[in-house]
Chains A and B, each alone.
Chain A
């Protein structure tokens, strides 16, 4: 019964988390070969393309900080989500980087003359993969971000659970003992060598 349960969790969790594991493996390849991948592109970062520029005459109270202003602007644009905001003391300009998985949106608000400019980052596979690799945590005040962080945590926990349940199943099945020990021992020995050398 326990053995069957472990096998099923090992398999179904693996099938469910395929997209996340694809992202983590491909993004790690990108980061491990960063210089080579960078040589494919003419610029270090993807450029931004203008999506829209429009009037935005909203006036904010002077005691409202830049974070609250950014929240209000994103709310008015229907673009709430994970973001970072920079403000200029000189002219009150706000630059909001809205971190969408498939490309950052840059929203620039100029209080005088009350204009808003929306730009979209060009899609670049290596950048998308690397940002997805780093996307985690419950620091944003959005339920959808928390939900994604939960799936990231599930993938993390399953990485360890697959390893341990794999050992359990191997022991339970009583197959390939000799080569199992050799591969386990060989991997552990190699890791120990790296621990000493590095």
Chain B
């Protein structure tokens, strides 16, 4: 039993330490997202034209949009993580991003032109990009491993809850107030689910 106690305590602690940068990042970035007026730099949304030139992308209408977009980015020497959006038959928008910056490519398919735009760097954007980064659809290995770590953070939270509850239960003196905290949290949450 003592060994189990020790194992769960150490798991709680070391898992927390290993994932501390992610937990701090998700905490701080959530504050930025929840209170955009507190931190946002004024020019964060502005896009500046870097280049405008002729370009005739090869778009196969039967192909998946992301496959076509990936081929276009490779042709332009801009391989990497991206989002693709085709709001109309004449317009294709690709956003090629990293943690540090974001480049928007807007293709006028009728005229065969592309406009390349960049965003001014701002620290709040960098942290928010880290928060929103995830999923397994981006074409780089770094994104794949990042998504695995995101999963790991989620499972770590579930593990902290389970081991935290176990450690509280072992502290007999604190059971009553711990039970009050659990019940108060659960009741508050249920009331919000019903009443919001």
Chain A contacts to B: CB under 8 angstroms:
11-22, 24-26, 28-29, 31-35, 81-82, 99-102, 135-137, 144-145, 147-149, 151-153, 156-157, 159-160, 162-163, 166-167, 170, 176, 179-180, 183-184, 186-188, 190-191, 194-195, 197-198
Contacts and interface: CB of A to CB of B under 8 A. Distances in A.
B118 interface: no
Contact of A167 (B17, B18, B98): B17
Contacts of B98: 198
A157 B184 contact: no
Contacts of A195: 99
A87 to B, nearest CB: 23
A147 B23 CA distance: 24
A9 B132 CA distance: 29
Contacts of A144: 192, 195-196
Contacts of A137: 34-35
Contacts of B185: 15-20
A148 B196 contact: yes
Given A15-B165, A32-B150, A156-B31, A145 B196 contact: yes
List the 9 closest pairs (A to B, CB-CB), nearest first: A159-B27, A19-B189, A191-B21, A25-B157, A16-B185, A183-B17, A160-B27, A187-B18, A15-B181
Given A19-B189, A163-B20, A14 B154 contact: no
A190 B17 CA distance: 12
Contact of B178 (A15, A34, A159, A184): A15
Interface string B166-186: 011000001001100110111
A179 B184 CA distance: 35
